[in-house]
Amino acid sequence: MFGLVRAGALIAGLAAAIAGGAAHAQEAKPVFAFTAIPDQDEARLVERYGRVAAYLQSKLGVPVKYVTVKNYSSAVTAFSNGEVQLAWFGGFTGVQARKLVAGSQALAQGAEDANFRTYFIANTRLGLEKSPDFPVGTLGKTFVFGSRSSTSGRLMPEFYIRQAFPGKTPDEVYSRIGYSGEHSRTIQLVQSGQFDMGAVDYTVWKLDEKAGKVDPSKVKVIWESPAFANTQWSVRGDVEQTWGKGFTEKLRQALIGMTDPQLLEPFGRTKFVPVKNDAFQPLVEVGKATGMLD
| 38-52, 157-171, 180-194: which is most confident | 180-194
Determine how many CB atoms are found less than 10 A away from the CB of residue 133. Answer: 8
What's the average model confidence in pLDDT over 25-49?
81
Which of these, 135, 130, 140, 152, lies nearest to 40 by C-alpha position?
Answer: 152
Polymer length of the chain: 294
How far apart are the C-alpha atoms of 262 and 40, rounded to whole Å? Answer: 17
Confidence grade of residue 18 (pLDDT, cut at 50, 70, 90): very low
Query: Edge to edge, what strands does the sheet with 64-66 contain?
Result: 64-66, 32-36, 86-89, 232-235, 105-110, 272-274
Confidence grade of residue 27 (pLDDT, cut at 50, 70, 90): low
Which domains are present in the chain? 31-114+229-284 (3.40.190.10), 117-224 (3.40.190.10)
Helices 72-80 + 91-100 axis angle, to 10: 30
pLDDT digits (tens, 9 = 90+) for 97-126: 999 999 999 999 999 998 999 999 999 999
Mean confidence (pLDDT) of the chain: 89
Residue bearing the bigger pLDDT, 92 or 39: 92
Residues pairing with 200 in the sheet: 119
Residue bearing the bigger pLDDT, 19 or 174: 174
Which of these, 198, 161, 157, 196, lies nearest to 179 by C-alpha position?
Answer: 198
**pTM, full prediction:** 0.74
Query: How buried is residue 212: exposed, middle or buried, by Cβ count under 10 Å (0-12/13-18/19+)?
Result: exposed
> Percent of the chain having pLDDT more than 70?
90
pLDDT digits (tens, 9 = 90+) for 81-92: 999 999 999 999
Confidence at residue 29, expressed as pLDDT on a 0 to 100 scale: 83
Confidence at residue 233, expressed as pLDDT on a 0 to 100 scale: 98
Whether the predicted pLDDT of 231 surpasses 50:
yes
Whether the predicted pLDDT of 4 surpasses 60:
no
How far apart are the C-alpha atoms of 22 and 217, rounded to whole Å? Answer: 57
Confidence at residue 60, expressed as pLDDT on a 0 to 100 scale: 98
Confidence grade of residue 16 (pLDDT, cut at 50, 70, 90): very low
User: Considering only 6-20, 186-200, 203-217, 280-294, which range has the smallest mean pLDDT?
Assistant: 6-20
How far apart are the C-alpha atoms of 184 and 179, rounded to whole Å? Answer: 12
Distance of CA 172 to the CA centre of its chain: 30
